[in-house]
Amino acid sequence: MNRKPFYNFCQKDGYLAGNHNYLKSFNIKVVIKMDVTDFINLPVYTSKGKYIGEVRNVLLDIEERKVDKLILTETNREFVENGMDVAVPYRWVSAVGDIIILSYFPERVEMPVEEEEEEE
């Protein structure tokens, strides 16, 4: 029996075409390799489209061979006290492209108040 394939890959346009119900049953993960320097100066937004800041530096976990944190600078004072630099765990990143989208960011980031020890 000669069956037609469920899908065809269109090399010219780079997309799958065919039985869409069949294709929906697959969980396809696309991995795009980037240089660490590609993150520098990318704008960072919340999942609701609010600007947080831009990437100043990238912290790597050498043992695990993965990105650990992004250091953000020029941060939005609406979210970060005094617009200071903040470190964002990479696990909060949901998408990377021309911009970075975070799946989570706290409502407000503030410096803790240090209590001075009273001398007797």
**Could you tell me how many residues make up the chain?**
120
- Its domain, for residue 48, covers 36-102
Q: What is the pTM (predicted TM-score) of this model?
A: 0.68
Residue 22 lies in a domain: no
As a whole number of Å, the CA-based R_g of the chain is 22
* Listed residue (70, 60, 10) closest to 40, CA to CA: 70
**3-state secondary structure (DSSP) of residue 64:** coil
Count: domains in the chain? 1
pLDDT in tens, 38-79: 999 999 999 999 999 999 999 999 999 899 999 999 999 999
Residue 15 lies in a domain: no
Residue 51 lies in a domain: yes
Residue 71 lies in a domain: yes
Residue 118 lies in a domain: no
Instruction: Identify the sign of the CA torsion 84, 75, 59, 56.
Output: negative
pLDDT in tens, 2-31: 554 444 444 444 444 444 444 455 555 556
Distance CA 31, CA 111 (A): 36
Residue 44 lies in a domain: yes
Phi/psi of residue 98, nearest 5 degrees:
-75, -20
How is residue 14 annotated by DSSP? T
Residue 4 lies in a domain: no
CATH number for the domain spanning 78: value is 2.30.30.240
